[in-house]
Amino acid sequence: MKKVLLPLLGIAGQIAAHATTGAEFPLWPDAAPGALGHAPTDIPTLTPFLPEKEKATGAAIVICPGGGYGKLAPHEGAGYARWLSENGVAAFVLKYRLGTNGYHHPAMLQDAARALRTVRARAGEWQIDPHRIGIMGSSAGGHLAATLLTHFDEGKADAGDPIERVSSRPDLGILCYAVITMGDNTRAGSRTNLLGQNPSPALIDELSNEKHVTKNTPPCFLWHTWEDGAVKVENTLAFAAALRAQGVPFDLHIYQHGGHGMGLGKDAPAVLHPWAADCIYWLKGQGFVR
């Protein structure tokens, strides 16, 4: 497989130096809906990674790290955020609640929706265009991103909390070797952490995101690898087929080689997997990157 050298996207080995990392902050001023306690694991947060002002494009992406709904993988969170900020996109890493800490659906979706709303409601503070805010996720984090892409709402105009008044609809999605279905091709551990031991058929159907694509689903960049032994490539293919059926634009990349959970690539940041350059090319077409 041909590898893409970092100079296409920035200066090798210096991605971290160009991201201005803001302070992690809680998504709700008080307890999150359905919180089980007050420990850090009960408090969903966002961490901003802002580009240098001269590079900033005004676009933003909320990042949902993978980890089977049981943990959060740093390289699929802060790693992606530094890469995006180097390319001028403000990135916000979401720490969402997990099945291993006693949470199940809808807690994770509540956290993702609140994250998107927060970035949109506070867009002026970060000099972000409220109409150019996407969501990105890998593996189970990709499932969470796909869930918001298919289960968003327009907000509650009469809400006392101004953040809850704005839409949770992402303007685009980036799904990296994502779990999409809760059906036959799902990853069993992710489903258990998200839905519990014996979810009902109705709940399985509700969280099988390939079944909930509509014409209002945002454009998406999808990638997977043929040899992924953890999450079947059929997940991504099913979502692409659903997008196609509804006339939603997408970029689809199935690479032959590359294991599950690779993030930007096993040799990142010095050498990135080709998906990174393909994604930046697509983001330019969406007006997120110059």
Four-residue CA torsion sign, 116, 122, 125, 131: positive
Res. 270 pLDDT band, cuts 50 70 90 = confident
- The overall average pLDDT reported for the chain is 93
Chain segment 174-197, per-residue pLDDT in tens? 999 999 999 999 999 999 999 999
Chain segment 28-83, per-residue pLDDT in tens? 999 999 999 999 999 999 999 999 999 999 999 999 999 999 999 999 999 999 99
Q: Which helix (H) or strand (E) holds 92?
A: strand 90-95
Q: What's the CA gap between 15 and 272, in Å, rounded?
A: 12
- For domain 18-30+39-285, is the CATH number 3.40.50.1820? yes
Residue among 189, 260, 190 nearest 224 (CA): 260
Output b/e per residue, 88-116; b: 16+ Cβ within 10 A: bbbbbbbbbbbbebebbbbbbbbbbbbbb
Chain segment 140-158, per-residue pLDDT in tens? 999 999 999 999 999 999 9
Q: What's the CA gap between 223 and 175, in Å, rounded?
A: 7
For 93, phi then psi, to 5°, come to -85, 125
- Strand 45-50 and strand 90-95: pairing? antiparallel
Residue with tokens 């105009």: 157
Q: Are 80 and 63 in contact (CB under 8 A)?
A: yes
Q: How many CB atoms lie within 10 A of CB 167?
A: 18
Q: What's the CA gap between 130 and 139, in Å, rounded?
A: 27
Output b/e per residue, 180-204; b: 16+ Cβ within 10 A: bbbbebbbeebbbbbbeeebeeebb
pTM: 0.93
Q: What's the CA gap between 232 and 228, in Å, rounded?
A: 6
Q: Give the residue-averaged pLDDT of 227-245.
A: 97
The separation between the first and the last C-alpha atoms of the chain, rounded to the nearest angstrom, is 27
Q: What's the CA gap between 211 and 213, in Å, rounded?
A: 6
Residue among 97, 203, 90, 82 nearest 140 (CA): 97
Q: Helix, strand, or coil here: 114?
A: helix
Q: Helix, strand, or coil here: 208?
A: coil
Residue among 240, 238, 272 nearest 258 (CA): 272
Peptide bond into 269 cis (omega under 30): yes
Calculated CA dihedral for residues 14, 19, 21, 26, nearest 10 degrees = -120
Q: What's the CA gap between 63 and 46, in Å, rounded?
A: 9
Share of the chain above pLDDT 90, in %: 89
Share of the chain above pLDDT 70, in %: 93
Res. 19 pLDDT band, cuts 50 70 90 = low
Chain centre distance of CA 226: 21
Q: Give the residue-averaged pLDDT of 80-101.
A: 98
Which pLDDT belongs to residue 18?
46
pLDDT at 3 over 90: no
Structure token digits, residue 71: 């943990």
Q: What's the CA gap between 194 and 189, in Å, rounded?
A: 9
Chain segment 271-285, per-residue pLDDT in tens? 899 999 999 999 999
